[in-house]
Amino acid sequence: MCGIIGYVGETEEHDALDVLLEGLSGLEYRGYDSAGIALANGSIAVRKKEGELSALESALEGEALAGDAVGIGHTRWSTHGPPSDRNAHPHTDADGRVAVVHNGIIENYQPLREELADGGVTFESDTDTEVVPHLIAAFLEAGLDREDAFRRAIGRLEGSYAIAAVFEGEETIYAARNESPLVLGLGDDGHYLASDVPAFIRYTDRVIYVDDGEFATLTPETVTVTDADGRVVETTVETIEWDAEDAGKSGYDHYMLKEIHEQPSALRECLRGRVNELERSITLEELPALEWEGPVQFVACGTSYHAAMFGAGLLESRGVPARPYLASEYTAAERPVGPDSLVVAVTQSGETADTMRALREANAAGATTVGVTNVVGSSAAREADHVLYIRAGPEIGVAATKSFASQQAALTMLACALSETDAGDVVRALRDVPDGIQTVLDTSTAREVAEAYEDADAYFFIGRGPQYPVALEGALKLKEITYKHAEGFAAGELKHGPLALVTDNTPVFAVVVGDGERARKTVGNVKEVEARGAPVVAVTDGQTDIERYADHVLEVPAGDELAGAILANVQLQLVSYWVAHRLDRSIDKPRNLAKSVTVE
């Protein structure tokens, strides 16, 4: 969601304005509708604009703001008040003594706003954030120093937040975190803070992850992390294992296309050291022998929920009761969760607010928890009892691609580990997946399919078993980046209502791999569609006769259902990409969406 960047350092080495603008550029993938910066060497200079970062950069042209050594920046994803210059961050107090940026939601902002208004404060925005600088100012007027005023103001807040503040005439950034990501970067010539590492990866790869309830104070020389009572917290400095080049486009037109093409290497990294072909075994050293008695519960949102469905289905097929839950609908009080439960939280960023709330409820209920995430040091990685990293590498495009494939692979291995069943079939399937994806990338005709159906009224996606979550994910990708209507269905459900919507301008994408009963039944569903005049696109490995009923065929290498589900997804990603490309959509930054959804 919103993005935060902060820098304090040596002006002769880095200019704060340049660092902030580059940092905001590195956070654009998170989704935003306005941007702003505040510089604070002398008096605080705030500049902010509705729209893309380029609008802010244009507004800054010709301004004499260079030379500052401390500042904060922000990209806003609207929650309280529409996108506008006045609602953009940073926000200040009435006298311009302090400027604040904020990611999250302050749940008690309305009574705080009323209290401040009763005291004579006039608000300039509709946001929940603006109460923070006014609270700080009130404590300053009561005689507190800047750090204590900041701490007292934070103590009044309820909700989720990552907050950074700067004061006029002081080369210091004050920050605090609760249920919203905040990471510190340690440089040789200054220090950084951000909501995510890409904001400052060009300058440093040494980071400290701030935990809930902690405060950070950054000066050009020092970084100090303290608890709510002001006691210094012992921190761990971690090294990021990727660099700025890994997070670039590498010559591709869009991050999404680059990340689709990175899937073979991402899968190999996910499997490395975990799949033993000689012994036909899978070993997850991160996970000890887990003990639980009830069904396994998966909690996730969006694309990660589709991966959770995929993983739960694999566990069920191996004799372990499992169920996926939408994290936004999950409450421990309404679910059979307790000390005998195993709860698996699936989240690419490790910061998804709904998933983190569900994970915390499971922890509070005494369940054993596993976080399946892509981000080392994320909230999910730190708060779950155990963590399984998917190792997809940095993913910048808002629409998840390589992280979904890596989640599929990671959850497949997890299913084997939890079921304690023979892994030979899975080892064989996973071994061939990276090369199979490369074959799809090299031979796909998805671009021609996109050209044929870019003007369709709607798009349907169908599949059975492991292919059902892939159908849902295919529909989600098309919605996200093309803004066209798309729906995914279990193939057998078409005849129970959705078939009424089928027309000759409603292409149906049918995922059919293998030659088992599920595949044969899906062919039957395709016949129903074909008989009603709808165009059919078959995503298939050719083991059935579905091609004879299809108008177009997207081929995947022959294999079992498991591998086929991962490979078929790549074809559907490519279809979505090329439809969006032909419609000239904002592929990497689709409207209204964010990469890391840190509000509920």
- The two most distant CA atoms of the chain are separated, in Å, by 81
Question: Would the pLDDT of 333 be above 80?
Answer: no
pLDDT at 599: 56
DSSP letter, residue 210? P
The region of weakest confidence among 113-117, 198-202, 439-443 is 198-202
Question: Would the pLDDT of 247 be above 70?
Answer: no
Nearest 10 degrees: CA dihedral of 275, 279, 281, 285? -70
Quick check: is 569 in a domain? yes
Mean pLDDT of all residues in 132-137 = 96
Single-letter amino acid, residue 241: E
Sign of CA dihedral 535, 539, 542, 544: negative
Q: Tokens for 285?
A: 């050293």
SS3 breakdown of the chain: % helix, strand, coil, rounded to 5? 35, 20, 40
- Give the length of the chain: 600
Instruction: List, in order, residues 6 or more apart from 575 with CB less than 8 Å away.
Output: 446, 449, 450, 474, 478, 509, 537, 554
Determine the Cα–Cα distance for residues 372 and 343; give it in Å rounded to an integer. 11
Backbone angles phi, psi at 275, to 5 degrees: -110, 120
pLDDT digits (tens, 9 = 90+) for 180-203: 889 999 998 899 999 888 889 889
Instruction: List, in order, residues 6 or more apart from 446 with CB less than 8 Å away.
Output: 554, 571, 574, 575, 577, 578
Instruction: List, in order, residues 6 or more apart from 333 with CB less than 8 Å away.
Output: none
Quick check: is 212 in a domain? yes
Same domain, 174 and 74: yes
Quick check: is 577 in a domain? yes
pLDDT at 11: 62
- Which CATH number is 69's domain given? 3.60.20.10
Question: Would the pLDDT of 6 be above 70?
Answer: yes
HSE, CB side, 13 Å, CA atoms: give it for residue 235. Answer: 24
Sign of CA dihedral 279, 282, 287, 290: negative
Question: Would the pLDDT of 600 be above 60?
Answer: no
Same domain, 220 and 279: no
Q: Tokens for 70?
A: 């401390």
Mean pLDDT of all residues in 1-25 = 84
pLDDT at 594: 66
Same domain, 482 and 428: no
3-state SS assignment for residue 240: coil
Bigger pLDDT: 505 or 11?
505
Domain that holds residue 52: 3-239
The 3-class SS string of 437-475 reads HHHHHHHCCHHHHHHHHCCCCCEEEEECCCHHHHHHHHH
Same domain, 363 and 509: no
Residue 230 to residues 193, 347, 547: CA-CA distances in angstroms? 19, 32, 68
Last residue of a domain, one of 386, 406, 433: 433
Quick check: is 420 in a domain? yes
Bigger pLDDT: 407 or 378?
407
Confidence of residue 451 (pLDDT cuts 50, 70, 90): very high
Task: List own/partner pairs for 241-248 with CB under 8 A and 24 or more apart.
Answer: 241/205, 241/376, 242/201, 242/393, 242/394, 243/201, 243/205, 244/201, 244/202, 246/393, 246/394, 247/26, 247/198, 247/201, 247/394, 247/396
Same domain, 452 and 425: no
Question: Would the pLDDT of 64 be above 70?
Answer: no
Quick check: is 517 in a domain? yes
3-state SS assignment for residue 429: helix
The region of weakest confidence among 26-30, 202-206, 336-340 is 26-30
Question: Would the pLDDT of 154 be above 90?
Answer: yes
Catalytic residue among 48, 258, 589, 595: 595
pLDDT at 42: 80
Determine the Cα–Cα distance for residues 268 and 278; give it in Å rounded to an integer. 17
Quick check: is 403 in a domain? yes
Mean pLDDT of the residues in the chain: 90
Determine the Cα–Cα distance for residues 401 and 554; give it in Å rounded to an integer. 18
Determine the Cα–Cα distance for residues 328 and 214; give it in Å rounded to an integer. 26
Single-letter amino acid, residue 428: R
Determine the Cα–Cα distance for residues 436 and 552; give it in Å rounded to an integer. 20
pTM of the model: 0.79
Determine the Cα–Cα distance for residues 204 and 216; give it in Å rounded to an integer. 18
Task: Answer whether 512's CB lies under 8 Å from 539's CB.
Answer: yes
pLDDT at 43: 87
Q: Which of 83-97, 239-253, 475-489, 524-538 has the highest mean pLDDT?
A: 475-489
Percent of residues, the chain, with pLDDT higher than 90? 62
Confidence of residue 12 (pLDDT cuts 50, 70, 90): low
Question: Would the pLDDT of 492 be above 60?
Answer: yes
Determine the Cα–Cα distance for residues 185 and 203; give it in Å rounded to an integer. 8
Mean pLDDT of all residues in 253-261 = 93
3-state SS assignment for residue 87: coil
Same domain, 35 and 163: yes
Last residue of a domain, one of 403, 433, 463: 433
Task: Answer whether 371's CB lies under 8 Å from 381's CB.
Answer: yes
Quick check: is 122 in a domain? yes
Same domain, 203 and 277: no
Last residue of a domain, one of 433, 458, 490: 433
Quick check: is 104 in a domain? yes
Same domain, 177 and 306: no
DSSP letter, residue 495? G
Q: Tokens for 209?
A: 């992850």
Determine the Cα–Cα distance for residues 361 and 368; give it in Å rounded to an integer. 11
Confidence of residue 444 (pLDDT cuts 50, 70, 90): very high
pLDDT at 78: 79
DSSP letter, residue 394? -
Determine the Cα–Cα distance for residues 40 and 8; give it in Å rounded to an integer. 10
2 is annotated as an active-site residue: yes
Sign of CA dihedral 357, 363, 364, 366: positive
pLDDT at 414: 94
Confidence of residue 536 (pLDDT cuts 50, 70, 90): very high
Same domain, 113 and 144: yes
Same domain, 364 and 484: no
Residue located via tokens 């964010």 = 594
pLDDT at 246: 64
pLDDT at 153: 96
Domain count across the chain: 3
Q: What is the CA radius of gyration of the chain?
A: 25
3-state SS assignment for residue 597: coil
Confidence of residue 527 (pLDDT cuts 50, 70, 90): confident
Catalytic residue among 2, 270, 301, 416: 2
Q: Tokens for 373?
A: 């995430």
Question: Would the pLDDT of 250 be above 80?
Answer: no
Mean pLDDT of all residues in 566-576 = 97
Q: Tokens for 206?
A: 């040494």
Same domain, 402 and 454: no
Question: Would the pLDDT of 14 be above 90?
Answer: no
